[in-house]
Chains A and B, each alone.
Chain A
Amino acid sequence: MKLLLENAHIEGIRYYEIYRKHGGYRAAEKALKMAPDEIVEEVKKSGLRGRGGAGFPAGMKWSFLAKPEGVPRHLVCNADESEPGTFKDRYLMEFLPHLLIEGLLISSFALGSNLTFIYIRGEYAWIVDVLEQAIAEAKTNGWLGKNIQGTGFDCEIHVQRGAGAYICGEETALLESLEGKRGNPRIKPPFPAVQGLWLRPTVVNNVETLAAVVPIMNIGGEAYSKIGVGRSTGTKLISACGNINKPGVYEIEMNLSVEEFIYSDEYCSGIPKGKKLKACIPGGSSVPIVPANLLFKTAKGETRYMNYESLSDGGFATGTMMGSGGFIVLDEDQCVVRHTMTLARFYNHESCGQCSPCREGTGWMYKILKNIEYGKGKMSDIDLLWDIQGKIEGNTICPLGDAAAWPVAAAIRHFRDEFEWHVTHPEEAQTRNYGLAHYAEPLSTVTV
């Protein structure tokens, strides 16, 4: 079942007329007739969880919004999609801008935001044009601006470009950036729901989360909550990439098995050149990498599904996380050390430099990984890496520290032999890869 991308294939759906013809703004029509609190209630009922990575229930986040007398409130859409492996929001905005705008309108109405921002990563420059075009159309047709559809509700949406900083995907860093400052995350409390943009109560939600409000309004919170499984309600966009035959953005119901997702023709269509699966990072680069033998089945031997609970089954020891749904597949020829090194370089590049464990620690993780990858490592470096990641995790102002630590931790946890091999085979390590870990899964049972 597709709720978000149902109409994505329709020619011209990015334009208002076509979007409207295919049922667009019907959810908004419905919502504007409701009381704002009723909308919040519907979203709560839907069980929608934040699609940016943390998976916090969206309706609950909304209900935390402080409403002091006379203080404006704001909704900010987090379109700073920067987690390696993730490109779903880009897809949504580029092809279905009106879906996002409709979702923003409904959410702004529900939260009482008359001034709403889409903070988009600076590199998505052309998408700014797409969104601004759509906003102009929406305005012309009375869905934005003053007295929207005669309800008396005013709302302006502006697109604000970032300028290249992963950290601005963290909501308080995003707000700092939106205020024209360095993207240094704020200490919490106070939380944005109390003091956010310009110290006013603010809700920050991911693009996909806000777009999902549209189908929730269309089919009702209750019906939405019945899609998927358990607390993983509704549909989820997965950005699939790495060594797969059909990379791209897929909308899935969260009762799909991981194995089916990788091997079914409907989704990734298996691994190129018939190679074997070595490992997978299913939720964006910061979540733990899992070797193939823990990917399709949990440690308990149960089938692993593409949802919040199942992916994290076994905790960090044998499981991983749903994260942002950035699904990265590594085939048998990939080097886990090198891959981890590029991720460590990424997080080092993106550390804001505010807190010392992250500023210094991400640098050292990259430096040590580089040494190991290039044959200059020592056995004790592996322990040192383990030590550093452990001191960063949970000990920084924002979650970037965790995001930087987890991939390193998981790589060592599951592929320690590969690290050791790099140390003991410095020459070979630079010319060929270690190959499959001994516990990797053989070929899939799903037919290609």
Chain B
Amino acid sequence: MKSTAYVDGIPYVLNEGETILSLLKRNFGKDAVPTLCDAPNLKPFGSCRVCSVDVALTENGPVKTVASCHTPITPGTYIYPNSDRVQKLRKNIVELVLTDHPLDCLTCEVNGNCELQDVAARVGIRNVRYPAGKNHGQVEKDLSHPYMTTDFSKCINCFRCVRACDEVQGQFVLSMAGRGFDAHIIKGNDVSFNDSDCVSCGACSQACPVAAISDVYESKSTAFDEKVRTVCTYCGVGCNLDVAVSTGTIKSIQAPYDADVNQGHTCLKGRFAFKFYNHKDRLRKPLIRKGEEFVEATWEEAYDFIAEKLTKIKSENGPDFIAAVSSARGTNEENYLVQKFMRAVIGTNNVDSCARVCHSPTALGMQKTFGTGAATNSVVDLKYTNCIMVIGANPTSGHPVTGAKLKQFAISGKPSIVIDPRKTELARYATYHLQLRPGTNVALLNMMLYYIISEGLEAKDFIKSRTEGYEDFKQQILQQNIDELERITDVDRNLVRKAAIAYASANNAMSFHGLGVTEHSQGTHTVMLIADLAMITGNIGRRGVGVNPLRGQNNVQGAADMGCQPHQGAGYLDVTNPQYHSKYELFYNAKLPNYVGYKIPQMYDAALSGKLKAMWVIGEDMAQTDPNTHHVVKALKSLELFVVQELFMTETAKLAHVVLPACSFLEKDGTFTNGERRIQRVNKVVEPLEGTKSDGQIMVEIMKRMGLLHLEYHPSWVLDEVAKIVPFFEGVTWEGLGKNGKQWPVDKNGKGAEILHINEFKHGKGKFIHNNWKESEELVQNGKEFPYIITTNRTLEHYNCGAMTRRTPNVDIITEDVLLIHPDDAAKHLINNGDMVCVTSARGKVDVKAQISDEVKQGVLSSTFHFPEIMLNNITSSFSDSEALCPEYKVVAVNIRKSKGQYKNAVVG
């Protein structure tokens, strides 16, 4: 029987272990009791005492005042939330708080959205009885940071910012210094926001109930016309954003607390990096190349030009001389239309997307082992897991909101394993950091598997009932030469053994991986071994387990789901399978090829050998971001028709024949699918910039131009069409997605799934597949001449080619790409911090500024490619994953020297 407590004499059923405040909020709404230090995403703290209520053990018995936020309810308690005594108490406390708070509400930034103002009004303060006294009114504002601002004269010492920084983001930048009345918030060693280690996530600002911490966009101000909820366009976490709009322009962004994905948190990209959307550099007219110049054109002229060229190439050379690269930044509907255009209108399977250069090995590897190339579980499962393993991912930079959750897990002291060549932020908190040599994931995972088997930690029942191929697999693992693997990986075998035992012996263990797994010549092999690890330990099919790729771009999951890949159509159905082929032909009412098309790297090769004459690229800056720049640029330049759909004149757009001005996520409707398969609605916040069109509209219009008629573009009808052909979208409807979206597979009743493979795998039994480690061809061929390994990475502040983030104040935080170099290596080459370093590879060379760091081991370097000034991909190779053709960004053989020009200057100076 459920126990009860009485509120003003009336019984209410208790949830186990709940606090008085939670009971009151549950039954009387979120404003049941006024509070100041309480926040939806923070632990109870009990410092403001405004939430105090009277409690008694018997009806009308003697009462005691307690803070409702942290006091658990004893069953049978009598609660009087608004007794006269309590009301007077609240009034007095708030009055005390107001004695040290400026009463300048009318001119305050948060006027109308201030919790102190609300609470003061609610408790009925009419005057402050205290004489003038010492206060903190003279504390100066801190406006040093590109985004964050403080005005601590308004601080009410509720600690919410400190707790948000600690409990939500885990950055520990803010704290309380001093004692008593002198207690005050500090950033770092009492420095400015700009000089602190703040990562600008904005959690403190959002948590602050007053205007003591805010941001340059005044996101807590009520000066806006409306707030539109949409989904972030940066990484695969898929944060929901509340975007404030005033007279058609975007004012600011906050993170909704009721978002399942991000629960009121987001990162500086989501929260602050939106100013690119109306940047002066935005393309606003279609451009057609005339010789070396671009000439502005009308949409009609551009469509005519393209349609004519495509028709000519199709008829003269055949449809397979045309290819398209869709964008994982675009919506599901747009991606669906791109592949439909290529398949049903052009008649080729030459359609790929940037999933190729990030998670194609994940899709392939997981399809082969589990049958489904997507995350098996959800991020919320972190609440239920006992051990995490993060391989080849730097989530605190790449996937900041999930990263913060992983970091909180590691900080809590629960077993956490990080496998990464770099000492990432997460690695610093992890129980085990296996800092392997780049390119040896397979060797390391084989070591872990070896120890799991040799220690007898396999989940025998699971293996027997749910998998196949284990005996062969086991034999191959037992044959591994541990001495050899220890040497190859450069990781102490005991450490590997301990990590393996931690993973295998946890009740629930969950793995996460990123591009440090996939962007290797053995990317697909690594993914399969991660899947093997999950199966051998039985970590599949329930809460808190599974294999969870951290998908790179906001909709990279969706782009593949929608069929923007050359071997599978919408819904991952094999285009060479006669049954599916005819299904697609029937559905599109068109003749379709039954053979696999080109993957992106194959497109370059085909272009160079004359087998590809036209390419249509949507929102991808391959000239800057694809490896081996010379090779890519040469291929693109050889095309007869190169169409680029873009927001900005990127390095790739500069090479195009036709540039079409597209619009950003803030200017369109549609859906994105995040890394945990959650299909979420993207809602138009502002009208498209004049002259621009959404990718979906462009696709519909070009299809119409080339003979396939559609309705006026709207994502809802496209989504209906998708639901008819993609099996796992069966029950998806535009209206039915609601605020928080749904995780596929969505059955016909509209029910989604947080966990996959609960009772059986997609293809029945899970398949154990083994692979031995193999040295990367790059190192075999070039390792002698180029003895260092450079592994590429990302920063928190910038996104990929940086076309968007470089056009926001993020560029004031991180201004350039740098080269991370170990102190000993730097010393060996007489390189000082900040010196320019010439990095050479078999492909080319770049000059980049050195940053001496213990983040990398000796012999390993690391850098980013966010800035076109450096063009780091001049040196990366064309080697790629043996199966999925994902490029090997993570292992590049290079040599370094102090840059001559700089060196000369230094000597002269």
Contact = CB atoms under 8 A, between A and B. Distances in A.
Interface stretch (A139-147, A266-274, A349-357, A420-428): A349-357
Chain B interface secondary structure, helix, strand, loop or mixed?
Answer: loop
A348 B133 CA distance: 14
Interface in A314-362: 348-357, 359-362
B182 interface: yes
Contacts of A397: 46-47, 67
Contacts of B129: 380, 384
Interface in B115-144: 129-131, 133-134
A356 B97 contact: yes
Given A353-B178, A356-B158, 6 more contacts: A351-B180, A359-B180, A360-B96, A364-B99, A391-B96, A397-B46
B96 A364 contact: yes
B183 A391 contact: no
A87 B36 CA distance: 39
Interface residues of B, number: 38
Contacts of B158: 356
Contacts, number: 97
Interface string A348-388: 11111111110111111001100100000000100010011
Most chain B beta-carbon neighbours within 10 Å: one of A189, A356, A380:
A356
Contacts of B44: 187
Contacts of B99: 360, 364
A371 B131 CA distance: 10
Given A356-B156, A388-B96, A351 B49 contact: no
Contact of A353 (B48, B70, B131, B181): B181
A396 interface: yes
Contact of A348 (B47, B157, B176, B181): B181
A368 B48 CA distance: 22
A230 interface: no
A130 B533 CA distance: 58
Nearest to A393: B65
B72 interface: yes
Contact of A363 (B45, B70, B180): B180
10 contacts: A182-B176, A182-B179, A187-B45, A353-B176, A356-B50, A356-B93, A360-B100, A363-B133, A395-B49, A397-B47
B64 interface: yes
B482 interface: no
B737 interface: no
B46 A349 contact: no
Contacts of B92: 357, 387-388, 391
A187 B99 CA distance: 26
Interface of A: 165, 182, 187, 189, 348-357, 359-364, 367-368, 371, 380, 384, 387-388, 391, 394-397
A122 to B, nearest CB: 14
A357 B176 contact: no
B673 interface: no
Interface in B732-756: none
B94 to A, nearest CB: 9
B297 interface: no
B386 interface: no
A191 B654 CA distance: 67
A355 B180 contact: no
A395 B89 contact: yes
B240 interface: no
B324 to A, nearest CB: 57
Contacts of A355: 46-49
Top 5 A-B residue pairs of the complex, sorted by shortest distance between their CB atoms: A353-B183, A360-B96, A351-B180, A391-B92, A187-B46
Nearest to A387: B92
Interface string B27-52: 00000000010000000111111101
Contacts of A353: 157, 176, 178-183
B712 to A, nearest CB: 58
Contacts of B180: 348-353, 359, 362-363
Contacts of A165: 179
Nearest to B99: A360
Contact of B64 (A362, A388, A394, A396): A394
Given A357-B96, A360-B97, A367 B157 contact: no
Contacts of B52: 395
A355 to B, nearest CB: 5
Contacts of B131: 367-368, 371
A384 B130 contact: yes
B185 to A, nearest CB: 11
Interface in B81-110: 88-89, 92-93, 96-97, 99-100
Interface string B165-189: 0000000000010111111000000
A111 B97 CA distance: 43
A211 to B, nearest CB: 31
Contacts of A187: 44-46, 67, 70
A182 to B, nearest CB: 7
